[in-house]
Amino acid sequence: MNRFDYVRPTSVAEAVAAAAQPGSAYLAAGTNLLDLMKGGVVRPARLVDVSRLPGLDGIEMLPDGGARIGARVRNSDLACHPEFSHRFPAVAEALLSGASAQLRNAATVGGNLLQRTRCAYFYDPASACNRRDPGAGCDARGGENRLHAVLGWSEHCIATHPSDFCVPLAALGAVVEIEGQAGRREVPLDAFHLLPGTTPERESVLAPGELVVALRLPAEAAGFAAHARYVKLRERTSYAFAVVSAAACLRMQDGAITEARLALGGVAAKPWRAREAEAILADARPEAAAFRRAAEAALAEARPSGDNAFKIELARRILARALALAVAGTPERLPALPASPFAPIPGAPLHG
């Protein structure tokens, strides 16, 4: 068993100072970290428990229409917050499509952003994994890789980021607030996670000891509430990570799309903002041909990393499905199967 020190700071400043020491890891709900420790995937020398830090557990609906969410807010509390789910329905739908109710009741907003890949080779200490052990190699390259990345991967790593929550956040321009020894800084979520390149072990822009303290959605994000959906295809409808997913958030006027915000999940080591596709949809009529052109643009740079060429076409179709659902309008109640392509037809009475 790996021995480690355990500290419980009483302030953010104390936490940052404690975690700056080599071998440290932050502990909040532990829904991902503890599994990794039990499997011997990670072996921190020190756990810095931030689960009781004051001031990080609030949901603040800002007067300008935006929102600020503390890093300790539970996923279920955020998804079920009436005003938040009204302003940002695609984010709530994504949250409710992830994991089980029990895990959502424990997992935190900050932890969701920082969860590790579910690549089986990362989880197996007997396998070569550059993300876990830099320079070891990547057994996924020649192994079981049908669920791995098709965008932004490198020969050093083909893993994907598992979060549902982060996909609509990337589309809507969310900002991550970070506290470190040098003070507080803000990073757009789209730039927070890193592609593997030659350093797959570096998964985010966080420096040693830095702590995510809050997440902020800008006021303009609420302007997409009337036409915003998240769609997730998984190998089983409940309790599974996305094979591919898509967030589509639209502004519409006089029957045309005036602005689109799009992002894909399950295709890369980070949530993938599809800016080229957004540009194609500006001032476009909401028709299947336009959706297809946008989907082609979103996956234009995609290439298989193994036995997963099917994911490219699948991602195109899921993005087109998300666009069609968004055009139809955000339902008054979330489907009984949130984010599922098998949910009832938009506009029908839905079970909340």
CB 225 within 8 A of CB 88: yes
The proportion of the chain whose per-residue pLDDT surpasses 70, expressed as a percent, equals 97
User: Which H or E run includes 323?
Assistant: helix 310-328
Higher pLDDT: 52 or 342? It is 52
**What phi, psi does 59 have (nearest 5°)?**
-110, 110
Beta strand pairing call for 46-49 and 256-265: unpaired
Residue 134 to residues 48, 52, 137, 171, 255, Cα–Cα distance (Å) = 24, 33, 8, 31, 52
CB 215 within 8 A of CB 69: yes
Mean pLDDT of all residues in 287-299: 98
Q: Which residues pair with 272 in a beta bridge?
A: 264
Q: Residue 337, class by beta-carbon neighbours within 10 Å (0-12 exposed, 13-18 middle, 19+ buried)?
A: middle
Beta strand pairing call for 211-217 and 256-265: unpaired
CB 212 within 8 A of CB 176: yes
- What is the per-residue pLDDT across 208-249, written as a single tens digit (0 to 9) for each? 999 999 999 999 999 999 999 999 999 987 789 999 999 999
Of 156, 177, 142, 217, the closest CA to residue 71 belongs to 177
Cα dihedral 350→225→106→2 (10° resolution): 130
In this model, does residue 33 exceed pLDDT 50? yes
Rounded mean pLDDT of the chain? 95
Q: Which residues pair with 27 in a beta bridge?
A: 49
Mean pLDDT of all residues in 255-271: 98
Ordered DSSP codes for 75-143 = HHHHHT-HHHHHH-HHHHHHHHTSS-HHHHTT-BHHHHHTPPP--HHHH-TTS-BTTTSTTS-BGGGGS
In this model, does residue 350 exceed pLDDT 50? no
Of 203, 216, 205, the closest CA to residue 163 belongs to 203
Domain boundaries along the sequence of the chain:
227-328
CB 281 within 8 A of CB 290: yes
Residues whose CB falls within 8 Å of the CB of residue 55, separated by 6 or more in sequence, listed in order:
12, 70
Band the pLDDT of 336: cuts 50, 70, 90. confident
For domain 227-328, the CATH superfamily is CO dehydrogenase flavoprotein, C-terminal domain (3.30.390.50)
